[in-house]
Structure 1
Amino acid sequence: MSVRTTAQPPWWSQLPPGGEPGPVPRARLLVVPHSGGGPNRYLRLLGGLADDIEVLGLTLPGRERRRTERPGATLDEVLASLSAIRRPELPTLVLGHSLGATLGLHLAHALGEHCVGLIASGQEPRDGAGRLSEQAGDEDVLRLLERGGDMPSAVLEHEGLRAYLLELLRTDLRLGRESAERSRGLRIDAPITVLCGREDRLVDQDKLAGWRAHTSADCEVRVFPGGHFALFDPNNLRHYIEAVERHFAAVAELAS
């Protein structure tokens, strides 16, 4: 199987970009964005983290600093990108939202003993069920986007932006289907924290507990006010910061 090079540009970049070098990191957080999105939007979740936690964000082709690249990636390419990350031995926590949560499970599994946990946000566990079929039309994709909310109508009304967004979403839906199909029976040996907005129209709340089948460790489900992008509500910021800190605190206790 052919795998695109992960060297130029790197799939993973420091968050915030261009930040001053900090102390030698004791742990790492990998941020895996939602469909159509890039990691820079997640900067607001990181302000309260200790400066000795290295934060890296995944940028798929076609968005943010990789905007000039043709959209599209396979799960194997995403997993291969881990090989470009320095200091692979660092205790690593994965935080993924929506599509990023499904990808995050695979990344956590690939990290093996170096993974200290997965935070799955805004996503029920998927084991083959895609949000849309390959035959879905543009209107079906746009309806899915509207159900998620958080998309200015001006973007959808602009022909060029609409076409660009549809291309991104279609490639991400394909990646999501592939990742879901390969999630069957996948288990990690690290705890999973599940976070979700109570009014999220893209998630079946009754299925959130199903994440327990993907770990041999603990699994905690927390639901709070908000829709699919509740994680970007300042009122919910503490849920994410607390989840990150709790995972890393558990690692510190084991090391002491």
Structure 2
Amino acid sequence: MPFYDAFGADERTALAADPFSGLGEIVGSGGRHDLPADPAWMSRRGGRSRSPGHDRRRYRMSDPVVCLPYAGAGAGFFRTWQEVAPTGVDLLPVQLPGREERTDEPPHRDVRSAVEAMLRGTALRNAAAGRRPVAVFGHSLGAVLAFELARAVEERTEITMSHVFVSGSPAPARGRAARSADLDTGEFLARVEELAGYRHPAFDVAEFRELLLPTLRADVAMHESYKPVSPHPIDAPITCLRGVEDTLVSREDAMAWAEATSGSFTYAELPGGHMYLTEDPEAVMGVIASTLDSSCG
């Protein structure tokens, strides 16, 4: 039986367009969560607390936001974000090699090489085309890629990095203790299922598993082997987002991102676990849009 026949018509269409959508992450939780009754909260260093919530207001034209996905995901993950983004917010997803239309290209296995490629990539060039400042967002693996990309932009280009949004990741100096990338296939998939909270049906089909695993392994290796390029903070302000129920990244490790910037720092918690952003992209967009709107004024 052809491997796509293992899925329903809707699933086949989605998987063909973006085989990494919905996979969750080896270092994340892709399952559903019971949301807490208490509202999410945000705290600013030197500022007041506020709730991010949903925000569909029309914003002034903000800085473009370069978006970096979590391990195993591609630019297609951000399609829903583009659909719900408030007017005035311009999202520019980065397509890393090894996924979607770049499936035939070998994936990066270290953060430095990924950043070098992104400096030459179309997303950053498009973002800076109008000589406007640029913001960047990344979740988990994407967070460390966003941070190191911001550093490289500040140190090696004339582009102004206006804001860095990091999500679902301990601060660079905290690192990751777990090592999963080199496990054999069975153990690796068991680790995916353990941390994601479910088993994606694609992994039960040999042909599809062979297609997905190399990039997922490479992404995990890149995240687990990451060391900060420099001990010095970046200049751009940082907003750190975290799911209030995240059991993989503690509040303490997330708030340590304050040490990674010489600018302002904001910490926000939203309902959900490690993969909270898969459940409510509008809440994330509300934080990004209101932050950039404030910085424009």
Instruction: Compute the TM-score of the two structures, normalised by the length of structure 2.
Output: 0.67
| Residue identity in the other structure for 2:284 | Y
Contact 2:85 2:282 survives alignment (8 Å)? no
3-state SS in 2 of match to 1:118: strand
Shift of 1:32: 0.2
Which one of the candidate residues 139, 146, 167 is aligned to 1:97?
Answer: 139
Contact 1:147 1:202 survives alignment (8 Å)? no
1:41 aligns with 2:90: no
Q: Deviations over 1:64-111 (max 9, x none)?
A: 110122333543332222234143532111110110001110011122
Q: Deviations over 1:210-241 (max 9, x none)?
A: 1111011222222222122210213xx34311
Contact 2:139 2:169 survives alignment (8 Å)? yes
Who is 1:57 aligned against? 93
Which one of the candidate residues 288, 293, 297 is aligned to 1:244?
Answer: 288
Who is 1:20 aligned against? none
Who is 2:148 aligned against? 106
Give the Cα–Cα distance (whole angstroms) in 1 for the partners of residues 232 and 177 of structure 2. 17
Of the two, which has the highest radius of gyration? 2
Give the Cα–Cα distance (whole angstroms) in 2 for the partners of residues 171 and 72 of structure 1. 7
Which one of the candidate residues 101, 107, 113 is aligned to 1:77?
Answer: 113
Structure 1 52/245 Cα, relative in aligned 2: closer, same or farther at 3 Å? closer
1:212 aligns with 2:248: no
Who is 2:168 aligned against? 122
Who is 1:15 aligned against? none
Give the alignment of 1:51-200 within 5 angstroms: 52-80=88-116, 81-84=118-121, 85-86=125-126, 87=128, 89-112=131-154, 114-127=160-173, 128-129=175-176, 131-132=178-179, 135-149=182-196, 152-178=199-225, 180-183=226-229, 185-200=231-246
Unaligned 5+ segments in structure 1 are 1-24
Give the Cα–Cα distance (whole angstroms) in 2 for the partners of residues 177 and 169 of structure 1. 12
Contact 1:61 1:73 survives alignment (8 Å)? no
Give the Cα–Cα distance (whole angstroms) in 1 for the partners of residues 248 and 213 of structure 2. 18
| Residue identity in the other structure for 1:83 | R
Structure 1 91/151 Cα, relative in aligned 2: closer, same or farther at 3 Å? farther
Structure 1 192/70 Cα, relative in aligned 2: closer, same or farther at 3 Å? same
Contact 2:62 2:293 survives alignment (8 Å)? no
Give the Cα–Cα distance (whole angstroms) in 2 for the partners of residues 47 and 199 of structure 1. 26
Give the Cα–Cα distance (whole angstroms) in 2 for the partners of residues 138 and 158 of structure 1. 13
Shift of 1:133: 5.6
Structure 1 186/163 Cα, relative in aligned 2: closer, same or farther at 3 Å? farther
**Of 240-249 and 83-92, the range deviating more from structure 2:** 83-92
Give percent identity, aligned residues only. 25
Q: Deviations over 1:187-228 (max 9, x none)?
A: 211221111222333323331111111011222222222122
Contact 2:63 2:162 survives alignment (8 Å)? no
Unaligned 5+ segments in structure 2 are 1-60
Q: Deviations over 1:30-53 (max 9, x none)?
A: 000000100111222233435554
3-state SS in 1 of match to 2:239: strand
**Greater relative contact order, per chain length (Cα 8 Å cut-off, separation 6+):** 2
Give the Cα–Cα distance (whole angstroms) in 2 for the partners of residues 54 and 134 of structure 1. 34
Cα RMSD of the aligned pairs, angstroms, is 2.5
